[in-house]
Structure 1
Amino acid sequence: MNKFEILKHYFGHDTFRDGQENIIDNISNGNDALCIMPTGGGKSICYQIPALMSDGIAIVISPLISLMKDQVTSLNQNGIRAAYINSTLTSAQQSRAIYNAMRGEYKLIYVAPERLEVPAFLNLCNSIKISLIAVDEAHCVSQWGHDFRPSYLKIADFISKLDNRPVISAFTATATDAVKRDILNLLGLKNPYQITTGFDRKNLFFAVKRPQRKQKELLAIVSEHKNQSGIIYCATRKNVEKVSDFLNDNGYRSLIYHAGLNSEIRNRNQEDFINDRCNLIVATNAFGMGIDKPDVRFVVHYNMPKNLENYYQEAGRAGRDGENSDCILLYSPADVHTQRFFIENNDENDELTDEQREKIKKNDYYKLNKMVGYCTSTTCLRNYILNYFGEYHTNDCNNCSACLKEYKLTDVTVDSQKILSCIIKTRQRYGASTIIDVLAGSKKESIINAGLDEQSTYGIMSKTKKAAISELITKLIDEEYIHQTEGKYPILEVTQKSYPILKGQKNLTMRLAVKEDLHREIQQAEIDRSLFDKLKERRKYLADKASVPPYVIFSDASLRDMCAKLPTNENDFLRISGVGIKKQEKYAKEFIPIIKEYKNSKS
């Protein structure tokens, strides 16, 4: 079969997405490849189809067991023989998988990078024909990436020990220029075909909110997405449990996921969420990498993450099926302090030298400042993200909270003078929180003991909300009127650019929001909800019977396509998006009677 026949036969699609065909052609023609594609952009098909077109077995290196299991389950459902070899298998199961691989029964084998160091696995790879090696989540190889894994540095050494070097392809959803260079060099890619299909996910709505009460705002969001799958990310385990308890106390059943739970509870909660036994999960960023659940309709960041790479990867777990979904970040200045603490106490990688550790720390603070800039931006949030990854756009997206807010140019000269004067009069020795406390006239013991209540600027902004002072300070930093030092205790300093403002020689205006709570209108094709719900019930029944997640049977997008096209025979059923030959044979008889009954009731 050619690539188009494989695409339809196994995956149920008639056309390739942006970039997929070029990647498949290059890998099939023997070229190494570096592919940067957004989450949900169809990366896996780019190595699965070349694997099916080639003799031998493709090795897929993946960082998480959950990803392997998900991918292998989906491939087997589509009629493709695949397996994974990892620590969850017993010795007997591993031996059986290796025996089957030796007999050529698989087209793809998924392994964790740690497996590459096991002599028995290297022996296996030198005993079979390897068609290609695909490195998923390739950014993990870079110390400058957001998810560096030392085990990824062993990949190049493993490849060098193979008797015959196969085609190597690397895939990631998020990579800056520095990370791209590391991927190319550390994986030893040879004259690779390089493609960036774009980071934009047009179906995602981005919003940043600064609520006075986060719990109240979260309840409103969950209520708006009632009966839909959602992930709520928190920065700490303590917050995970606190937020989950709050949701459960208010009638919304939620599960928790963090590294402090024992593996049995973690795995059970993950499975319950994936299998639609519970719609909500509250988690640290330990949850989600490699989770292919396509129908997550909203992702809430209850706390700000440490960088935009993390944020975009986590937010990108919404709407993988292409349906409209929401990504909402609830920001407060306290989140910045939490992330600074994490940066200062990051001792996870003991293989780093002191010099490397300091360079990474400096880079982490740079990224944190960019993350804060996103949270306080008054311009298009989508463009802010895309620009960060080197994809420059000038037109507003009109699909984010910044674009939908109403702004007006406001003269902030006087308030800026107050802030700048306070920084100077306190001898440029303090951070933002102390400056805010002085301006607001705080009675904190630390302020009194330091004699800061005797400064002439003490209390001169007592009638202004602290959040507004904080926001203006951030904007002054962004526009380089104030310099904020890096490190555990960042200090505010005025710049030369600020003196014309201080001396009254120049006025300063900024765009400030005058209306905060605007939402986009979710536009979706009109379908009959009663039919959709019946199809979902049948899907859930079949999924439970097969012990697989519902989306492995069909995505929501496929069910919506059924509602739109109303197929009543097997040929028409094959025209549904996501229906290949194998799924036609298995499921047409399960869904067509429901559709026929619906049509008869309408006639």
Structure 2
Amino acid sequence: MMKNLEVTSIEQLQSVLSTYFGYSSFRTGQEQAIQNVLHGRDTLCVMPTGGGKSICYQVPAMVMEGTVLVVSPLISLMKDQVDALLQIGVQAAYINSSLTTEEYFGIMENALAGAYKLLYVAPERFESQSFIQQINKMDIPMIAIDEAHCISQWGHDFRPSYRMMHTVINSFVKKPVVLALTATATPAVRDDICHQLNIDPEFTVMTGFERSNLTFSVVKGQDRDKFVKAYVKKNEGEAGIIYAATRKAVDQVYTMLERTGIAVARYHAGLSDTVRQSEQDRFLMDEATVMVATNAFGMGIDKSNIRYVIHYQMPKNMESYYQEAGRAGRDGLDSHCTLLFSSQDVITQRFLIDQSQDVNRIPGELEKLQSMIDYCHTESCLQKFIISYFGESDLQDCNRCANCTDTRERADVTVDVQKVLSCVIRMGQRFGKTMIAQVLTGSRNKKVVEFGFDKLTTYGIMKGRNAKEVSDFIEFIISENFLGVENGQFPIIYMTELGKDVLTGKTKVYRKATVETKQITQDDPLFDQLRALRLKIAQEASVPPFVVFSDKSLRDMAAKMPMTDEAFLEVNGVGDAKLERYGEAFMEEIKAFSKQMV
């Protein structure tokens, strides 16, 4: 078992960080959070996804006597983190519903004997009084509560089992220090976490919500399927997640990509537990490069090399969006987050909110949905909009999101918008997008003829385009608020007050050119070879490739081309354990590559 260190200086903490985790210095906020807990101060730590929250409890665990208890609702995260810790020589284990009875008792026996530095536990486990009695026999200097927003009824993912944490903490004869951690918490949620866990708000460590390696964009009024196919094809080989709001949409996008030959997986609640686990494993092991999923997927997925996240449909609130989008670029490398907006998304999300079990939460959820809609329509900096939502002020434009860098030319489409508005009026403002597009393109559809719409003056006035193009154009007009959508069993389109100004010639309408898909990363032959070696080693060890090395480590390795132990230790994320385990294989690959280049 690892020798405990007696902490007297930051140098000793940095030694642990470097020796085991391969990092030369702490990130913003990490050292402060660690010093807080080592001095016995209960602390709330708010860091964005990928900000390095796990280091805040893993490093203290290495220098404290006893076993640090980590509370997490995420089975997949527990496994990934325990795998990663074992890879670097840190004794760790987890207890959750995936264990057999025999495995559970074996781990508890080891835990009571002090065999682990970290023990990960699902919050539901604390519903067992016998389990609470067992852990009271252990030496637990600290409890780290991950995804702490789950404790708050104002949070977007409230879980009643988290409310028990206060009682559990107080049950210890010698109270452990508490470290609550979350990535997405508004001021109200932060206050509630502190109140529930009796944390002095003075000991809140916040590093800011901005993710400087992420580029955000919103695409409106374009063919979503066409965009997704082109994007994924252009970035084939890079890991990405595509989120959709419904199972039906997930299945549709999955089938579309599978038919184009993409190595794709899918995940939603309609699949069996076995299939879901299998699909998740394929994605984690890099056997599938793209995961198409509902929001049931991803919480706690520790896969660090996700280069892009596409939201095929708008999510229900900013907390969900930022958490899901934030799964891109956890290794710190440049990554892209794209939201494909359609007015139908608003109707879908309102329907899902109305199905909520707790009617008292519906007004608050609708308010959050409106903020999400506002995000999709803002023309100001997207990153600034997001972090303002989480309570930060005095912000600068990010100068990298699609709104900040948009140089697309604008075309005057006023006349075409007037044609659509005029058609909507003549059809009585009681039909949906599809029927309007059919009338404008001169369709001989049975219903069009039955309603006598083929006799309208607007019938066929856009017959130079197909119905799909006109439907996308109508979507653009809705996104600009010249047309509105009335909720109901069938979405009915009507003209807004802003639309009247366009129809009467008071307002002109401009449309920017179509958003083109781009390749995210530059080609690098050595990086590709190192990535192939990483996959081979990971498959032999039955661990996800990112557990061996992150993409950031491989990029740094490809740039520095280390050929000695000393040089290899200079690579980002390489400590003594990884040098010993993998150094020779990767340095041999680099030497072979350099000979080829001569």
* Residue 578 (str. 1) matches residue 567 (str. 2): no
Paired residue secondary structure (1:599)? helix
Paired residue secondary structure (1:140)? helix
* CA gap 1:24/1:412 in 2 versus in 1, 3 angstroms: farther
Q: Which residue in the other structure is 1:398 paired with? A: 400
Q: 2:535 aligns with which of 530, 535, 540?
A: 540
Following the alignment from structure 1 to structure 2, what is the Cα–Cα distance between the partners of residues 115 and 412? 61
Following the alignment from structure 1 to structure 2, what is the Cα–Cα distance between the partners of residues 30 and 488? 57
Following the alignment from structure 2 to structure 1, what is the Cα–Cα distance between the partners of residues 145 and 495? 47
Give the aligned length.
Answer: 576
Following the alignment from structure 2 to structure 1, what is the Cα–Cα distance between the partners of residues 536 and 567? 23
Following the alignment from structure 1 to structure 2, what is the Cα–Cα distance between the partners of residues 246 and 469? 24
Map 1:14-163; keep pairs closer than 5 Å.
14-163=24-173
Map 1:548-563; keep pairs closer than 5 Å.
548-563=543-558
Task: Name which of structure 1's ranges 189-198 and 394-403 shifts more when overlaid on structure 2.
Answer: 394-403
Q: Which residue in the other structure is 2:367 paired with? A: 366
Q: Which residue in the other structure is 2:383 paired with? A: 382
Task: Name which of structure 1's ranges 260-269 and 389-398 shifts more when overlaid on structure 2.
Answer: 389-398
In the TM superposition, residue 164 of structure 1 has moved relative to its aligned partner by: 2.1
CA contact (8 A) 2:307 2:520 kept: no
Following the alignment from structure 1 to structure 2, what is the Cα–Cα distance between the partners of residues 491 and 223? 35
Following the alignment from structure 1 to structure 2, what is the Cα–Cα distance between the partners of residues 296 and 472? 33
Q: Which residue in the other structure is 1:189 paired with? A: 199
Following the alignment from structure 1 to structure 2, what is the Cα–Cα distance between the partners of residues 26 and 409? 56
Paired residue secondary structure (2:552)? helix
Following the alignment from structure 1 to structure 2, what is the Cα–Cα distance between the partners of residues 112 and 483? 45
Q: Which residue in the other structure is 1:273 paired with? A: 283
In the TM superposition, residue 99 of structure 1 has moved relative to its aligned partner by: 1.1
CA contact (8 A) 2:556 2:571 kept: yes
In the TM superposition, residue 523 of structure 1 has moved relative to its aligned partner by: 7.0
Q: Quick one: which amino acid aligns to residue 226 of structure 1?
A: E
Q: Which residue in the other structure is 1:318 paired with? A: 328
CA contact (8 A) 2:235 2:520 kept: no
Q: Quick one: which amino acid aligns to residue 111 of structure 2?
A: A
Q: Quick one: which amino acid aligns to residue 399 of structure 2?
A: C
Task: Name which of structure 1's ranges 512-521 and 317-326 shifts more when overlaid on structure 2.
Answer: 512-521
Q: Which residue in the other structure is 1:165 paired with? A: 175
Following the alignment from structure 2 to structure 1, what is the Cα–Cα distance between the partners of residues 107 and 211? 38
Q: Deviations over 1:307-362 (max 9, x none)?
A: 11111111111111111222122221111111111011122xxxx5xxxx23x111
Paired residue secondary structure (1:379)? coil
CA contact (8 A) 1:35 1:196 kept: yes
* CA gap 1:598/1:490 in 2 versus in 1, 3 angstroms: closer
Following the alignment from structure 2 to structure 1, what is the Cα–Cα distance between the partners of residues 32 and 415? 54
Q: Which residue in the other structure is 1:517 paired with? A: 515
CA contact (8 A) 1:376 1:471 kept: no
Q: 1:594 aligns with which of 579, 589, 595?
A: 589
Following the alignment from structure 1 to structure 2, what is the Cα–Cα distance between the partners of residues 26 and 336? 43
* CA gap 1:581/1:242 in 2 versus in 1, 3 angstroms: same
CA contact (8 A) 1:484 1:492 kept: yes
Q: Deviations over 1:77-97 (max 9, x none)?
A: 111111101111112211111
Q: Quick one: which amino acid aligns to residue 250 of structure 1?
A: T
Across the aligned residues of Structure 1 and Structure 2, the Cα RMSD in angstroms comes to 3.8
In the TM superposition, residue 514 of structure 1 has moved relative to its aligned partner by: 2.3
* Residue 230 (str. 1) matches residue 240 (str. 2): yes
Q: Deviations over 1:280-304 (max 9, x none)?
A: 2211111111011111111111111
In the TM superposition, residue 262 of structure 1 has moved relative to its aligned partner by: 1.2
* Residue 293 (str. 1) matches residue 289 (str. 2): no
* CA gap 1:468/1:533 in 2 versus in 1, 3 angstroms: closer
Q: Quick one: which amino acid aligns to residue 26 of structure 2?
A: F
CA contact (8 A) 1:57 1:129 kept: yes
Map 1:465-484; keep pairs closer than 5 Å.
471=476, 475=480
Paired residue secondary structure (2:405)? helix
Following the alignment from structure 1 to structure 2, what is the Cα–Cα distance between the partners of residues 461 and 50? 70
Following the alignment from structure 2 to structure 1, what is the Cα–Cα distance between the partners of residues 41 and 143? 12
In the TM superposition, residue 69 of structure 1 has moved relative to its aligned partner by: 0.6
Q: Deviations over 1:248-289 (max 9, x none)?
A: 112113121111111111111111110111212211111111
Q: Quick one: which amino acid aligns to residue 289 of structure 1?
A: M
Following the alignment from structure 1 to structure 2, what is the Cα–Cα distance between the partners of residues 122 and 82? 19
Q: Quick one: which amino acid aligns to residue 86 of structure 1?
A: N
* CA gap 1:394/1:242 in 2 versus in 1, 3 angstroms: same
Q: Quick one: which amino acid aligns to residue 335 of structure 1?
A: D
Following the alignment from structure 1 to structure 2, what is the Cα–Cα distance between the partners of residues 476 and 278? 39
Task: Name which of structure 1's ranges 391-400 and 252-261 shifts more when overlaid on structure 2.
Answer: 391-400
Q: Quick one: which amino acid aligns to residue 379 of structure 2?
A: T
Following the alignment from structure 1 to structure 2, what is the Cα–Cα distance between the partners of residues 238 and 474? 24
Q: Quick one: which amino acid aligns to residue 224 of structure 2?
A: K
CA contact (8 A) 1:441 1:458 kept: no
Percentage of identical aligned residues: 41
In the TM superposition, residue 459 of structure 1 has moved relative to its aligned partner by: 6.8
Following the alignment from structure 1 to structure 2, what is the Cα–Cα distance between the partners of residues 226 and 272? 16
CA contact (8 A) 1:404 1:520 kept: no
Q: Gaps spanning 5+ residues in structure 1: where? A: none
In the TM superposition, residue 143 of structure 1 has moved relative to its aligned partner by: 2.2
Following the alignment from structure 1 to structure 2, what is the Cα–Cα distance between the partners of residues 383 and 508? 29
* CA gap 1:372/1:599 in 2 versus in 1, 3 angstroms: same
* CA gap 1:126/1:415 in 2 versus in 1, 3 angstroms: same
CA contact (8 A) 2:61 2:118 kept: yes
* CA gap 1:445/1:405 in 2 versus in 1, 3 angstroms: farther
CA contact (8 A) 2:549 2:573 kept: yes
Taking structure 1 as the reference length, the TM-score comes to 0.84
Q: Quick one: which amino acid aligns to residue 552 of structure 2?
A: A
Taking structure 2 as the reference length, the TM-score comes to 0.85
